[in-house]
A and B are shown apart, each in its own frame.
Chain A
Amino acid sequence: MPISRRRFMISAALSTSTLAMPSFLRAQGKPKVVVIGGGAGGGTAARYLAKDSKGEIDVTLIEPQQAFTTCFFSNLHIGGFRTFDSITHSYKTLESTHGVKVIHQMATAVDRGAKVVTLADGSKVPYDRLIVSPGISLKWESVPGYSPEAAEMMPHAWQAGPQTQLLKSKIEAMKQGGTFVMIAPPNPYRCPPGPYERISMVAHIFKQKNPTAKIIVLDPKEKFSKQALFQEGWQKHYPGMVEWIPASILGSIKSVDAKTGKIETDLDVFNADVANVIPAQAAGAIAAAAGLTNDTGFCPIVPGSMQSQVDENVYVLGDSSIAGDMPKSAFSANSQAKVCANAVRGALTGSRVFPAKFSNTCWSLIATDDGVKVGANYEPAADKITKTTGFISKTGEDSALRKATYEESLGWYAGITEDIFGA
């Protein structure tokens, strides 16, 4: 039976009475939800399910890291605006306040037939519903010569943590007048404005510590998010420092050599004193291993609930999902998680299921007190999540507004991290 028809029947049953909970579930005791990945999507989903079901659902979060460093605001750490501590969050509140069971291990396999997740130590965790939000995996081979080993010399810093610290220290130690080269990622990737916010933050550091340094962006794209705003900002704050080379001029990247910093392209050979290589991306590896991805490398979902199109007992959130018009951002993952938690709770306990509403806003910092933002509303359509309305900061805005926008982003960070990890 197609999922949509099944879903219709489920919700029809629910609307008649909250007591319509399938008897087999009650017989089994508490329904079990397992969440793979304790980031923006998974943390939020686990928290909302535990919080809103008030103990009716048994929620287990599987996440290998003891603490989570957010990619969002990691560029601000590189720029010296945030400490590393201030962007790192523990799972303690999820456990103590909300009763989420957190297991610090990697999920290595999912048996969707038996509804069991296998962990790195071989133990097995059964589920009634599985929520998968493992972020991205990096396609190393998309940049010839790049590899996990090369990333120790040419950091990607596209998964936050030690990589962020490594990149920051290399930027700060770069020789006077040296060259910083970024290889930007092709679409689709997490955080569309992220690479360009990073360029802004690197320029901000160089302006103070290394004013004759050069920044070169080798981009496999022709245009990028908030382009006019970033380019205006670079011109204004860092004149002459940043050179952005689009694909039509660059051609392709032929190889990178992590030891020498040499980057060969059709256009030229670049010698990087510090290189930041951000390769192409796909869904987190466990999503592919669980058979949830299609040939795009990401996971197709049902737009109104984030349910996998492949398996009605599985939901996929955040960067790993194909969320239609929504960008891959923490804001999006958090928004999707709340829609998903509502749907899963409804399916398991008969609680009210409300219509899905999605939204996203991404703030970026260009220089001290110079913040910009872009945002949109999204609604589920039959085939995909579709953008309805949106807005973007304008070039030429006055500095008071830009400062207010930056301050607003600080508020957003405090709000969303509280919403993911608890207060």
Chain B
Amino acid sequence: MRVVKRFGLDNLQSGLAVAVALVIGSMAIAGSAQAQSGEAAGKEHDRLVGRGVEVFQRCSACHRIGVEAENRIGPQLNNLIGRKAGTVKGARYSPAMVRAGAEGLVWTPETIDAFVADPKGFIEGTTMGLRGVDDADDRKALIAYLASFSTGPSNIPETPVPPRAGVDAGLPTEILALKGDAEFGEYLSGECVTCHQASGEDKGIPSIVGWPPADFVIAMHGYKSKKREHPVMRMIAGRLSAEEIAALAAYFNKKGQ
């Protein structure tokens, strides 16, 4: 029962608490440099991933990631973000991990952060031998590294998602407050609907019609600053100005109504 409790609300809350701490932490960093360019954010991401490679050394005795990674003592970690816990085919799991997945635990930056900070505290009965990564920046780095192997449509939000702590944090409020010019957005949307079906159907590529504007803006700035994965989206978002992103957000929101 304790496991259930840890995985139920309690733990979600403590996971969120950590996440909130992370948001505040990164806001503080970003605060001093709100005008920081997307390029600087990209550099920070590169630094994190670089550091993550080192932190991953603590995992690599049991886990593989990257090209054709296979299960070892622990499961392979490609496409970890968004994966339900305990579900990799052929991997060996503790009953506690399988149960956690069955109860709805999905690996997100927040849950990975909480788990890696204190594995046995997060999932009592996990067989993962890691003692825990104490340093919050190291965990952030590790997550950035793991996320870089989670590319692909599964890593694009299929539906509006709440901002991802640690990934989407630090967007200045002026940007969120920009009012979009929907007519301009309609013109710009021509570029989006070459891939994202204007009818809102999703097949291989997620729908972007009808999102709340704030979610749209946050996601696009996530790609623009290279914090979110996906090369096509980074390329497209990379050259859009904040006004253009706001215009698109306004247009696609309107289209969904």
Which A residues form the contact surface with B (CB < 8 A)?
48, 52, 331, 334-335, 338, 342, 352, 354, 357, 359, 361, 373, 375-377, 379, 388-391, 396-401, 403-405, 407-412, 414-416, 418-419, 423
Contacts and interface: CB of A to CB of B under 8 A. Distances in A.
A373 B231 CA distance: 10
B183 A352 contact: yes
Contacts of A52: 186
B81 to A, nearest CB: 12
A414 B239 contact: no
- For the complex, would chain B's binding face be called helix, strand, loop or mixed by DSSP majority? loop
Interface of B: 66-69, 78-79, 149, 151-154, 183-184, 186-188, 190-191, 193-199, 201-205, 231-232, 234-236, 238-239
B239 A377 contact: yes
B198 A418 contact: yes
- For the complex, would chain A's binding face be called helix, strand, loop or mixed by DSSP majority? helix
A359 B235 contact: yes
Given A407-B204, A415-B196, A400 B235 contact: no
Contact of A404 (B68, B153, B196): B153
Given A352-B183, A354-B188, A412-B204, A376 B235 contact: yes
29 contacts: A48-B190, A338-B187, A338-B191, A357-B191, A359-B235, A359-B236, A377-B236, A389-B235, A390-B235, A391-B231, A397-B67, A398-B66, A398-B67, A398-B69, A398-B149, A400-B78, A400-B79, A404-B153, A405-B152, A407-B204, A411-B195, A412-B204, A415-B193, A415-B194, A415-B195, A418-B199, A419-B194, A423-B197, A423-B198
A408 B153 contact: yes
A4 B155 CA distance: 44
A417 to B, nearest CB: 10
Contacts of A409: 204
7 A-B pairs with the lowest CB-CB distances in the bound complex, closest first: A404-B152, A411-B204, A411-B205, A338-B190, A391-B231, A410-B204, A407-B204
A391 B231 CA distance: 7
Given A399-B68, A412-B195, A391 B235 contact: yes
B115 to A, nearest CB: 21
B67 A416 contact: no
B217 to A, nearest CB: 19
B204 A408 contact: yes
A342 B187 CA distance: 8
Contact of B188 (A357, A398, A418): A357
Interface centre among B153, B197, B199, B236 (most CB of A within 10 A): B197
Contacts of A404: 151-154
A3 to B, nearest CB: 22
B153 A412 contact: no
